[in-house]
Amino acid sequence: MVSFASPPKFVVDSIHGDIHLTPEEWGVVNTASFQRLRHIKQLGMGHFTYPNATHTRFAHSLGVFGIMVKVLDAVERCGFSLSAEKRENLRLAALLHDIGHYPYSHVMETIDSVLLTEEFISSGGEKRTLDTKTTRYPGHEEVGRQIVTSQQDLISAIGGAERAKAIADIFTRDEAADPQFSKLIHGSLDMDRLDYLLRDSRAAGVPYGSIDIHYLLNNVRVDPNTGVVGVSKKALPAAEQFLLARYFMHRAVYYHKTTVAMEETCRQLLRRVRDKGKYGVPQNGQKVLDRVATESLGGFTDAFVDGVMRQALVDDDENVKKLAQAFVNRRPPKLLKEVSILPERGELYHPLATFKMNCQHRLGNLCEEKRISPTLFLFWEAKPFDFEVRGPSFGTEEVKKIVAEGEGVFQEEESIKVFVDDSGEPKSIMDIDDSIMQACAGRRFLLARLYVVSEEKNLVDDLRKEVSMWDQSS
Amino acid sequence: MDRQQIGLKLAMDSLGIPVQMGTFEDRLVLQKAVYLAEAAEVALGYHFRWYLRGPYCSLLASDGFSVETSQDEADQWTLDGDSLENLRGIQSLMQKSRPADMELAPWLELLASVHFLVSRKQVAHDDIHEILSTLEKYNKRYDKPQVQRALRRLRKHGLLRVPA
């Protein structure tokens, strides 16, 4: 048990109830670096669709911490003891796992992945040059490592640079950390997801993320030989519901057409002004890392992006101005066509591939015909959604073989482990014959959309007709 | 494919290595080749950490699967001249410098691992004994001449500084 040298501190959380913190943890929460998370919305642009979805990375971080405390208790109840140091490092890693988030969470983080229409559409055989001298924005975990190991307020609160590095190793899943326990934060049955599904669905006001978290936590089991963490067989339905809840939340909330439209507008505008070196948007990945290591970390919040958007309202590029107006005045781009499919993994030819190909080859002509700048067409493709974290194109037997080889290259392919009986080794949920996940695991959810930034109803209707058959081969 | 994935495909094409994810060796070669490309200042946007088999990037693993199953969207792109030149140097390091008795995957694993340990200062001194003992700690079975060769080649190709 954690001992408290001074009166215990706790926060009242709307999802998990009272969350108790040690004075040291309380000190971390009260650093300026951690308080920054109060100013970053958890759901990016989700509040444009669900007005109440304004909850923050700050609340989510505390929630993940709260779940970590419960899981560690459950692990100890199973007779698997952890040293006090490891236990406390895991608690701090949970608390700090999102410390590196960019403004509007994943929106700004992913501006290098934007498909700018003028680059996306076919060039008619002419080669474009891809300049790799501009380093991409690093992921938020990498940024988090930089913050934890360079911001003095955090280093002091954590208790020194060496410990700060050890904690960053856990949330970035470095080998220096205990790989099994660091997967508790990011993995399949991980605390991050357990919290955000509940918190996001509650805030949005939708039922899709409701999961039986208490039953899952009460049925945590640990393999005493390997330290592998999973759940008992009787919690299989709760584990299945958890995985399906992820899918439903992605379809209904995270990929909502209006939310995506606003996010893509923001992302494309940021990318364009970043490429032109405007409005203080960090010009490359190194500049991001440099910025978060200084005092200007405090200003790297949603308000930073809001400020960029307002400055862009008077940009000298008319199309950038239109994007800024769409964002600031909440005039989401209009959806022209959406294609969603659930193909077998590895399947290359399907309506979404046809749609994408048609966008590449026909959008250029459509722009000319209708006299619309390519900048105002936004093509967006969701990251392929896997029901379980397991690489595509691999069967159960191959995964087993790879695991037996003891290699790390495939280490992301972790799935929820289920202890079928109390004495045996855990099995992957996908290897359980009566689990619905076996049926789902062979498929991926793919989604692509084409939007246009326009308020002209007739034009939008006309464009919708033009692209209506673009998911079909001619 | 997004720009990062296009960059990945173009870089691997320049190195003469198809993006395949079918076997463990395929995935290992992808990881280590891209690590070395990044070390040669071809900024593809991947950040590496140390795992059981040396430098590893989870985003790269995910992109590898996407690129493998994507159609040829990279056809209308080419890399900038500096990157292509740097990749030519890496190709020579990977292929021409490879010992005759060593397959590509273990050679790349050795090069990438030695580079990571030295450049990230995971070893206090970039001398052969400390590198060798650190590699042994991670269960890597390389002998002294192999590690010496890797260190020499990395220095020759400008990926590691030559000691004063």
pLDDT digits (tens, 9 = 90+) for A428-454: 888 888 888 888 877 889 999 999 999
A172 and B CB contact within 8 Å: yes
Per the model's pLDDT, the better-predicted residue between B20 and B70 turns out to be B20
**Residue B3 in this model has a pLDDT that exceeds 70:** yes
A174 and B CB contact within 8 Å: yes
What are A205-219's pLDDT values in tens digits? Answer: 999 999 999 999 999
Residue A433: CB atoms within 10 Å:
6
What residues of B are in the A interface, CB distance below 8 Å?
2-4, 6-7, 10-11, 21-22, 24, 27-28, 31, 42-45, 47, 49-53, 56, 58-59, 61-62, 65-66, 69, 71, 73, 76-80, 82-83
Q: Chain A contacts of B82, Cβ < 8 Å?
A: 133
- Environment class of residue A424 by beta-carbon count within 10 Å: exposed (0-12), middle (13-18) or buried (19+)? exposed
- Nearest by Cα to A224 from A427, A24, A424: A424
Measured CA to CA, the distance from residue A21 to residue A29 in angstroms comes to 9
Q: What are phi and psi of A52, to 5 degrees?
A: -90, -5
Residues 366-395 of A with CB under 8 A from B: 384, 391-393
Name the token pair of B41. Answer: 């200042």
What are A124-182's pLDDT values in tens digits? Answer: 777 788 877 677 898 999 999 999 999 999 999 999 999 999 899 888 876 555 655 66
Measured CA to CA, the distance from residue A307 to residue A279 in angstroms comes to 9
Range A398-411 average pLDDT: 39
For chain A, the 3-state helix, strand and coil shares in percent, each to the nearest 5, are 50, 10, 40
Measured CA to CA, the distance from residue A222 to residue A229 in angstroms comes to 5
Using CB atoms, pick whichever of A122, A123, A142 lies closest to residue B47: A142
Would you state the pLDDT for residue A395?
A: 38
Measured CA to CA, the distance from residue A108 to residue A105 in angstroms comes to 7
Using CB atoms, pick whichever of B24, B59, B79 lies closest to residue A409: B24
Per the model's pLDDT, the better-predicted residue between A111 and A386 turns out to be A111
Among A39-43, B51-55, B155-159, the least confident range = B51-55
Among A2-6, A252-256, B155-159, the least confident range = A2-6
A474 and B CB contact within 8 Å: no
Q: At what angle do helices B3-15 and B58-68 cross, to 10 degrees?
A: 80
Range A286-293 average pLDDT: 95
Using CB atoms, pick whichever of B7, B27, B50 lies closest to residue A410: B27
What are B69-102's pLDDT values in tens digits? Answer: 776 677 788 898 899 999 999 999 988 888 888 8
Measured CA to CA, the distance from residue A170 to residue B8 in angstroms comes to 28
A397 and B CB contact within 8 Å: no
Band of residue A400 on the pLDDT scale cut at 50, 70, 90: very low
Band of residue A1 on the pLDDT scale cut at 50, 70, 90: low
Question: Tokens 């482990």 appear where?
Answer: A417
Contact B79 A128 (CB under 8 A): no
CA of B95 vs chain A CAs: smallest distance (Å): 22
Name the token pair of A153. Answer: 């307020």
- Environment class of residue B161 by beta-carbon count within 10 Å: exposed (0-12), middle (13-18) or buried (19+)? exposed
**Residue B116 in this model has a pLDDT that exceeds 70:** yes
Name the token pair of B154. Answer: 């990395």
E strands, A181-254, are: 220-222, 229-232
- Nearest by Cα to B54 from B163, B161, B147, B139: B139
Contact B79 A174 (CB under 8 A): no
Q: Chain A contacts of B53, Cβ < 8 Å?
A: 407-409
A159 and B CB contact within 8 Å: no
Q: Which of the residues A115, A130, A361 would you substitute to probe the B interface, choosing the one with the greatest number of B C-beta atoms within 10 Å?
A: A130
Band of residue B1 on the pLDDT scale cut at 50, 70, 90: confident
Using CB atoms, pick whichever of B47, B53, B83 lies closest to residue A139: B47
Contact A175 B50 (CB under 8 A): yes
Using CB atoms, pick whichever of A172, A285, A409 lies closest to residue B27: A409
Q: What are phi and psi of A451, to 5 degrees?
A: -115, 160
Give chain A's mean pLDDT.
87
Residues 211-230 of A with CB under 8 A from B: none
Would you state the pLDDT for residue A399?
A: 41
A135 and B CB contact within 8 Å: yes
Measured CA to CA, the distance from residue A13 to residue A202 in angstroms comes to 12
Range B123-131 average pLDDT: 78
Contact A173 B58 (CB under 8 A): yes
Using CB atoms, pick whichever of B21, B76, B79 lies closest to residue A123: B76
ipTM of the complex: 0.74
Would you state the pLDDT for residue A66?
A: 95
Contact B58 A391 (CB under 8 A): no
Among A156-160, A229-233, A421-425, B83-87, the least confident range = A421-425
Look up the pTM and report it. Answer: 0.86
Q: At what angle do helices A161-171 and A140-150 cross, to 10 degrees?
A: 170
User: Cβ distance A272 to A320 under 8 Å?
Assistant: yes
Residues 241-260 of A with CB under 8 A from B: none
For chain B, the 3-state helix, strand and coil shares in percent, each to the nearest 5, are 60, 5, 35
User: Cβ distance B76 to A126 under 8 Å?
Assistant: yes
Would you state the pLDDT for residue A393?
A: 33
Range B98-122 average pLDDT: 89
- Nearest by Cα to A285 from B38, B58, B50: B38
**Residue B125 in this model has a pLDDT that exceeds 70:** no
